[in-house]
Structures are given as structure tokens and as C-alpha cells.
Structure 1
């Protein structure tokens, strides 16, 4: 009798002996294939590694039934299809270029300290288990305009600033219900306001929105954004990368009226209609309803948002249509 040793292909199983008759020339049956690992979602590279089809398949495996929103919720008032269809050539080119070059952009984050302090640095028990809400500022929470050109009456605030040795007067209107919304959000989320506006402007507006810093935990401005240049004139575009915050992205919502600002984290984005001073606006109340309907889930919030909006797929289709139309702009890093 001849002893032949075969090494198992299964991890964690020791090698074993298989006795073969010396006159038996029949080869042993092939080992069964190893079991397929269950799909895993990684917060730090969720958008980067899952294709749209893989994302949809993973979503289906987590949720077998629909989860309708309440009547009058965000989905009823914001039509994602309309938002995507209205993207112009400038934004389409930016989205397309950033999507193709995200590894080089993400590489800038290596070795950088997170923009936000660790949750254990201060108030250790306050934010430990809270989800995170990242809010845009202009056209999301308020609308700021040049006083001499706006034509608005009775602004909610006026800002005096200097720009290139010139004194600039700007005024603005708060989105209806903004303070009420921030008060509610602060009880449930770690609230972060992140604007592509100048850092000094962001700090000034925060004194108007939340003078005592009761509701907003952190404020980030343009210096925390990724700057890109687009077109022949080298116009600046600012992108916000949630990975730079140092928070768990599976528990992070991002609200912005401009999809290009969330190019690197579309799975976290809740799109909202732009605010330009409309007194009949009710978007923040509807946003509150939407968030309340999702906070009962304990799954990855990005899967929930994908299932609700399917935004990544719609944007990819819009970009493909734009490409087929033969429109292109040049995007180059600074």
C-alpha cells in the first residue's frame, strides 16, 4: 500500500492521508471549490471598489422588500431624475474626470490628519454612538448674495467683508426652518457644516446660524476641500471627500444641492433642491422626515440611500449620454 499526502485547499483544515491501491490508476476526484466569501462593505473605499451592478446586487441581498417613505417626504418633492438631467457640460466633465482619476486624488489624503478631532478627544460620551450629518451651506441652509445686485428686500443678515482691498457688502436669506432643523439634528447627529466658501466666510455665517455653537459641532471651509481646475480658463471646482473627516462612512449622511461636490462619496449623498430665497420652501422639514424614516435601520446607510435614489447609476448614465454627445472639457489638477 502506498501513502500519498495531499494538501487541502480549505483554509484552516490540516493535511490528511489518502490510501491508494497500487493497482488502482483512477485519479482521485478533484476537491470541491472553496466557499465564496460573503460580500463585505468597507467604509473607507465603498464607492471606489463596488461597481454599480455589484452595488445593486449587494443591496438586493440586504433588502427584499421596499421601504416606502411617508407621504410628503423628500422623495416626493425632489426628483433625482430631474436633478441629474439638469447637469450641464461643466458638471458632467468634472464628474467624469474625477471618477476616472479618483486614485490620484485620494492619494493626497495619505498621511494627512483627519479634519475632525477624534470623537474621544472631548465630550467622549456625547458623539460616540451618534450618526454623522454633513451639511452644505450655500443654497442648502441659506442663500448669500451681493447686496447691490440681488434685488432682495428684508435680508435675514448682512455681512461686511474685504476682498482684494475692496469693501464688499453681502446679504442673505436663511432657508425657512433652518434653526428648527439644526436644533432637531443636533439631538440625533454629530452635525458638521462643510462649505466650499472661504473659511472666514464660513465662520462669519456660523455666528448667524448658531452663535452659541449649540447645534453645529464642526465647521469646515474651502481649505478642507479638494481643489480642481476645469476648462480653458482654469475655473476652480471644490470637492468634499468624506474620507478626510475620519468618521465611519457607513453611518454618515451628506446633504448638498450640488452632486459634483460629493463626487467621491455619492453613496452618502442626499440631494436637496437649491435654495435661492423662496419663502415657500419646505425642503428642510421634508429632509427631517426623510432622515427620521431611515434612522431606525441598523444597516449601512449607503445601501439605504442607494436603494432610495439609485443616484450613482443615474449619474453614470447621464455622463455616458454626455460623452456620446461629443462634449468634453479639460480638467487638470492644480
Structure 2
């Protein structure tokens, strides 16, 4: 079994920007990896080689599947927090230090209003994932402040989990189809959602900089609590919410 786990780890190291690994049919027969293949879609077969898309998240916990939980995918910068580098904000909640090839930088971080309440209230209702286009060291330093005990955010995805489209000016793109979750049950929250895939899963929020009267996360919290146990497609519920909010219907702000 240990040999099989090592083999799968090596396959994943061969991944491309589309998270594809190459598996020899001989290994399928030798290791009996049908469970691995059932959890990761086979894209094609060519000359006894399987091309397998590896999901970026492990299978959902059994208890979460049993309770039919949805997955809440949160962006970090300008969605949950705002930060500046080497220049203190007039107001900030904490500072972090990050190393890079040219030295060390200090980031001053301001939390968006209601972020602590949002995470605390939804921790048991949703599988919470943070998916950021930032690098791991920077993101982890901030997330360790937001979730110091590591029992709220189930999974963390970083810049290397984004895809890079062709073109010299292209930005990292988040593709929710690579998560390994049913998109009927995924809510995506990102201030720049229009630049990513699966926009129909996006709950729109404005960009956060320093407005301490901001209530975007409070609105998100109310929405998520209302639909937590709904059997309906999350994308339909998000659209209905957006239409109601646009029309100024009471109870949907």
C-alpha cells in the first residue's frame, strides 16, 4: 500500500497546468487503483496510457457528504482582507512578514468587517475552502491569523492551483471544475469573479479596501444561512438572490 501511495504522489508531481497525470495501464493492473480512478476523471486513453485529471481537493469528508453540505469557496485579497506591503495602513489588524528572493517584506493587513463572524457562523454549515491567486507563504500567514486553530477552513488553494491561459498579460484563473466538487453545491465568492471560470457559481461582492462600513460579508452570511439546507442548485439560488437584490426586495440585502 505504501508503494502505491508513493506511486500516486509521483504521478501528481508530473501534473501540467491542467492538473493531468499520466498513468501506465500496467500500473492500473499492478496496483489495482480503481478507487483512485473513480475519484479522478479519466480524460483519455492512448497506447496503454491513461490521462487522468487530478482533483485539487481530496474527497469530501464522509460526515459532510452525509449531511449534504455545500462547499463555500472564498477568495482572500480584497474579499476577506486588504493588505499593503512595507507601507502601514492608517488602520490595520495585524502585520505579517514574508520572505522572497530579494529579501523580506512586511504586509499590513486589514480584515473586512464581519469576516470573523462569517467564518465562525458558517464553519459547521459549509465545507469552507479558501482559493487565492496569492502565493502560499503570504496566504498561510494571513489565514493562520483568521483561523488560528485550523478548524474552520478545511482546505487552502494557492496560485499554483490556478490555471494560466495563453498570452503575455494573462492572469491566473480559478477553475472550479478542478476542485472535485459537484458545482450544483458550490458557492464562489471573489471580488474579481468575472476574470474566472464558472461565473454562474459566483456570489458577487464588491472589492474591499478600507471601508469599515462595508456589509458585503454580512449579506453573504445571511444568504448562506438561508440556503444551507436547500436541495436546489446553488447557481439558481445565487441568480435568484442577485435578481431580488437588484430589485430591492426586502430580506435579500
Compute the TM-score of the two structures, normalised by the length of structure 1. Answer: 0.55
C-alpha separation in 1, matches of 2:227 and 2:147: 26
**2:110 equivalent to 1:176:** no
Equivalent of 2:151, from 195, 214, 225?
214
Structure whose alpha-carbon radius of gyration is higher: 1
**2:86 equivalent to 1:147:** yes
Indicate the SS of the match to 2:56: coil
Q: Is the 8 A contact 2:126 2:228 kept in 1?
A: no
C-alpha separation in 2, matches of 1:296 and 1:206: 27
Equivalent of 1:114, from 55, 58, 69?
55
For each residue in 1:11-42, what CA deviation from the matched residue of structure 2 results, as whole angstroms up to 9, or x when unmatched?
xxxxxxxxxxxxxxxxxxxxxxxxxxxxxxxx
| CA RMSD, 1 decimal | 2.2
- The Cα of 1:146 is off from its aligned counterpart by 1.4
**2:71 equivalent to 1:132:** yes
Q: Which has the higher strand share?
A: 2
Compute the TM-score of the two structures, normalised by the length of structure 2. Answer: 0.71
- The Cα of 1:127 is off from its aligned counterpart by 4.8
Q: Is the 8 A contact 1:139 1:275 kept in 2?
A: yes
Q: Report the counterpart of residue 193 of structure 1 in structure 2.
A: 130
For each residue in 1:281-306, what CA deviation from the matched residue of structure 2 results, as whole angstroms up to 9, or x when unmatched?
12111111122333353121112223
For these two proteins, the number of residue pairs brought into alignment is: 197
C-alpha separation in 2, matches of 1:295 and 1:209: 22
- The Cα of 1:166 is off from its aligned counterpart by 2.3
Q: Is the 8 A contact 1:135 1:193 kept in 2?
A: yes
Indicate the SS of the match to 1:125: helix
Q: Report the counterpart of residue 200 of structure 2 in structure 1.
A: 267
- Which of 1 and 2 has higher RCO (CA within 8 Å, sep 6+)? 1
